[in-house]
Structure 1
Amino acid sequence: MSVGEFSNKLLNAVAIGIVVGLIPNAILGEVFKALQPVHPIFSTFLALVGAAQSSIPVIIGCLIGVQFMFNAIEIASLGATLLISSGVVNFITVDGLPAMQLRGIGDLVNIILVSIIATILIKLLQGRLGSLSMILVPLIVVTSVGIFGYMILPYISQISLFIGNVIQRFTTLQPLLMSILLSVSFAIIIISPISTVAIAIAVGLSGLASGAANIGIATCCMTLLVGSIRAKNKLGVTVAIFLGSMKLFIPNWLKYPIINVPIILNGIVGGIVAYFFNIQGTPQSAGFGFSGMVGPINAYQFMTQAPLMRLLIILVSYFVIISISAIIIDFLLTKTLKLYQHHVFEFNS
């Protein structure tokens, strides 16, 4: 198997796994949150769709196993390996007793790195263990690679910490420049293996900085939507992007770096829009864009205009302007400058 084929199989599994885990909470999270005062059951529902996000490492492991045609034992072993090395599982103490807590979706960079190592190891073990594979595959893969991944997690997480420190510096700049830089940064981060939510909370983005980050994520979404439609992807792919699954395009982003050009240009437009309309938010809302309407709902609460004017501003800033700019940028780069063709947005799984 070539390196390219190996990478495509693995990254496609990662992209789809992220979508599967994120979609329930992206669509229903805010609905359940709003319905919590109605009945306590909705708090349980909210926790359940949140738990689905924390299952992303296991989902990715299973999908990688399917891509490489692993057997059931190998798939289960890979899923368990990614779970314990992802950072999703946190060890705490409750009433003096050891317990585990699920938190977030894990460090995607570490998940990808560990999945590469574990997949290669499983391929090397195939056909060598005979009837003992049921015992030895989990024992070797889960313990060796899983523990190794857990041990290197603090060091791999430094990548996100470094990016967070850079983002922190942006917040000290002149407001318009800050808005543009944050919008562009989060537009790129959302399509990368790095978590926008984790960085936004770690840095404590609030006010205009949070709003600019949200608009930046929205610009990436609109850019990918236009590219996906022009590339004639299946409807499900385009809908998934609109619902907030920009990481579906991680394989394309890595294979075709030219994708960053329209993303950056539309991110600049988004930063100007956020500054002009004074879009604001909180650290908890900064990494979502309009996924689950988290960004728009928080922006609405910070506005002082009449309700209809607030809704109009949100519609114009989060959807209208950046979608029009995405179409114009796409036309200029593909038809006028001929910088790339729409095949860079083709989703192949």
Structure 2
Amino acid sequence: MEDVEMTISKKDFTLNILNGISLGVVVTLVPAALTGQLMKALLGVFPLGAAVISMTNFTMSLLAAVSGFCVGHLFKFNMIQTSAVAAAAMIGGGVIKQTTQGFILSGTGDVINTALTITVAVLVAQFIGNKFKNYTVLLLPLLVIVIAGGIGLTTLPFIKMVTTFIGMAIKNLVTLQPILMGALMGMVFAVLIVSPISSVGIATAVGLSGIAAGSANLGIVAGSFTLAIMGSSVNSLGTTLAHFVGTPKIQMANMLEKPFLFIPVMINAAVLGAIGAIFNIQGTAMSAGFGFSGLIGPMAALGAMKVDGAALVLVTILFLILPILLGFLAKYVFVKKTKRIVPKDLLIQV
């Protein structure tokens, strides 16, 4: 086995972790978001849609493992090291539940604890390197899984407490005046969607519904279109579309490296969230954290309305036209006029 190169800066180390998790999110969560509502709508004429739903839902539970594998690849680990990191992530991510009948997969796990577990697993793998010579292939997986996975299991309850606290703080915003609440919910979820914290997990944990969920979803929509448009000149068409067709979480590493990027995202999210509250746009706990992805947000909003021509026009304006206009306005102000942001800040390395 080859030794892993350990001369890596703290910045690159952190970016590898964040980028790997972002890619894991794209691979495991986006397929369900893209096909879920569509397959449900087509079940009457396309019975195989149920199988598609089952497959994509199962894939969501592999978030921790796929993220671990992506991180291992970014660190240029060999297959033994990468697989050990992925296994440890699956254990520490909190997605595995033990019952009297065996193990079951439940949900997507805790993204924060998954990141912590992966970080420990990478450090252990780097420390071991090839110290055990011919026995490395036997001992490295054991040590990475037991040490990193064990630490992940230990920290999981405490990390969940923190996540729950954040969720309760967000829920309290619902008691505020609706328009102000809409703006705040939009900003909060626009920030969550590009952070290591799962926006879907937070929304589900606190049971967001009604206007709060609608504004949260619109905040994500505004943020995703804003990032896509500001970075469109340096990213491919597919990557640009992935911001809102998939998830803007692919920008997580860039956002944390260059915090000023949060400014236009939060401004546009506040505007669209407030407008959504004015027009009584509603959603569910599941739709709140997805944004435009899979048309989950727009379809949830329509589901709470009397669907007619006016409703379709309103949803189209709020979920597509206004986000695009706000995105181009942000590009003009922050990229072209003030030059506080350069498109390269939003470059996605795939």
Pairwise TM-score range, normalised by the shorter structure: over 0.9
- Structure 2 distance, partners of 1:100, 1:156, is 22
Alignment partner of 1:333 is 2:340: no
Gapped runs of 5+ residues in structure 2? Answer: 1-7
Report if aligned partners of 1:269, 1:322 keep a CA contact under 8 Å in 2: no
Alignment partner of 1:135 is 2:138: yes
Report if aligned partners of 1:277, 1:317 keep a CA contact under 8 Å in 2: no
Alignment partner of 1:192 is 2:199: no
Paired residues in the alignment total 343
Deviation of the 1:330 alpha carbon: 2.3
1:249-260, aligned counterparts within 5 Å?
A: 249-260=251-262
Q: Name the residue aligned to 1:123.
A: 126
Q: Name the residue aligned to 2:212.
A: 209
2:303 partner letter = Q
Alignment partner of 1:58 is 2:88: no
Deviation of the 1:38 alpha carbon: 4.3
Q: Name the residue aligned to 2:5.
A: none
- Report the identity percentage: 33
1:269-308, aligned counterparts within 5 Å?
A: 269-304=271-306, 307-308=308-309
Q: Name the residue aligned to 1:83.
A: 90
Alignment partner of 1:173 is 2:180: no
Alignment partner of 1:264 is 2:278: no
Q: Which shifted more, 112-121 or 25-34? A: 25-34
Q: Name the residue aligned to 2:155.
A: 152
Deviation of the 1:59 alpha carbon: 1.1
Gapped runs of 5+ residues in structure 1? Answer: none
Picking from 17, 24, 31, the partner of 2:24 is 17
- Structure 2 distance, partners of 1:233, 1:339, is 19
| Cα distance, 1:5–1:55 mapped onto 2, change above 3 Å | same
1:21-100, aligned counterparts within 5 Å?
A: 21-38=28-45, 41-92=48-99, 97-100=100-103
- Structure 2 distance, partners of 1:117, 1:284, is 31
Deviation of the 1:272 alpha carbon: 2.2
Report if aligned partners of 1:22, 1:53 keep a CA contact under 8 Å in 2: yes
Report if aligned partners of 1:227, 1:330 keep a CA contact under 8 Å in 2: yes
1:148 partner letter = I
- Structure 1 distance, partners of 2:185, 2:113, is 24
- Structure 2 distance, partners of 1:41, 1:328, is 43
- Structure 1 distance, partners of 2:171, 2:16, is 35
Q: Which shifted more, 136-145 or 284-293? A: 284-293
Deviation of the 1:11 alpha carbon: 2.1
Q: Name the residue aligned to 2:317.
A: 316
Deviation of the 1:98 alpha carbon: 2.9
Report if aligned partners of 1:164, 1:202 keep a CA contact under 8 Å in 2: yes
Q: Which shifted more, 150-159 or 35-44? A: 35-44
Alignment partner of 1:248 is 2:255: no
Deviation of the 1:36 alpha carbon: 3.2
What are the superposed Cα offsets for residues 82-136 of structure 1, whole Å, 9 maximum, x if unpaired? 00100111223xxxx3332222222121121111111111111111111111221
Deviation of the 1:64 alpha carbon: 1.6
